[in-house]
Amino acid sequence: MKRAAWCLAFAALPWGAGAQEKVNQGSLVLQDFAQRVAAYMKIHRAAGAHIPGLKPTKTAAELERHERALAHEIREAREGVTQGNIFTPEITAQFRLLIGETMKGPPAVRIRESLKQAEPVWLSKVQVNMTYPHAVPLQSSPPTLLMNLPELPPQLEYRVVGRSLILRDSEANLIVDFIRDAIQ
């Protein structure tokens, strides 16, 4: 009986409802992100169906041709798409919150060191549907930072470019979307 009364009293606390609402809102935002990524992957798969597949004995030239053809098909399907198509303002805010919490916690020192040790990557211009320049290295993203971000399909990856977080299609070498100043 005491336990039931305690549970009722705990559930009636004003902060309990607000905390639940905040958690649910963050969850809804991440569900929206997952749906947007799934919609992009549908475009990616449809674009891949329009180009010839790679042969098992693929050469570097064949890989590059395939990458360019896939990127071309995706660009056509996403014509007119601008920054924020996947990283909406709400999703951007949620990602900044997740990244900010990671950068404040105990792993922050390791993340900052990892970013300093890796060759910093800067692009003068970052744009949706832009080919990631082959001459620019792909800076690895610290695993501790990635652990706090939603999981992606194998064809997509998070990359750090300067202080921005980009969503990159690794098969098409295409910038799908990005968040400016995501890494503080």
Asked if pLDDT for residue 164 goes beyond 70, the answer is yes
Residue 19 lies in a domain: yes
Residue 145 lies in a domain: yes
Of residues 180 and 117, the one with the higher pLDDT is 180
Nearest CA-CA partner of 161 in 134, 136, 130, 128: 136
Residue 108 lies in a domain: yes
Nearest CA-CA partner of 165 in 111, 110, 117: 111
pLDDT per residue over 58-117, tens digit each? 788 888 899 999 999 999 999 999 999 999 999 999 999 998 888 786 777 776 666 666
Residue 17 lies in a domain: yes
- Tell me, what amino acid is at 61? A
pLDDT per residue over 6-33, tens digit each? 343 434 444 444 555 555 788 899 999 9
Residue 149 lies in a domain: yes
Which stretch of DSSP H or E encloses residue 138? none
Q: Which two tokens stand for residue 113?
A: 């060191």
Asked which of 8-12, 35-39, 131-135, 170-174 is least confident by mean pLDDT, the reply is: 8-12
pLDDT, position 26: 84
User: pTM to 2 decimals?
Assistant: 0.79
Mean residue pLDDT of the chain comes to 82
Q: How far is the C-alpha of 37 from the C-alpha of 6, rounded, in Å?
A: 43
- Tell me, what amino acid is at 55? K
Number of domains comprising the chain: 1
Confidence of residue 119 (pLDDT cuts 50, 70, 90): low
pLDDT, position 3: 39
The answer to whether residues 110 and 170 touch, using CB atoms and an 8 Å cutoff, is no
Residue 78 sits in which domain range? 2-179
Of residues 162 and 6, the one with the higher pLDDT is 162
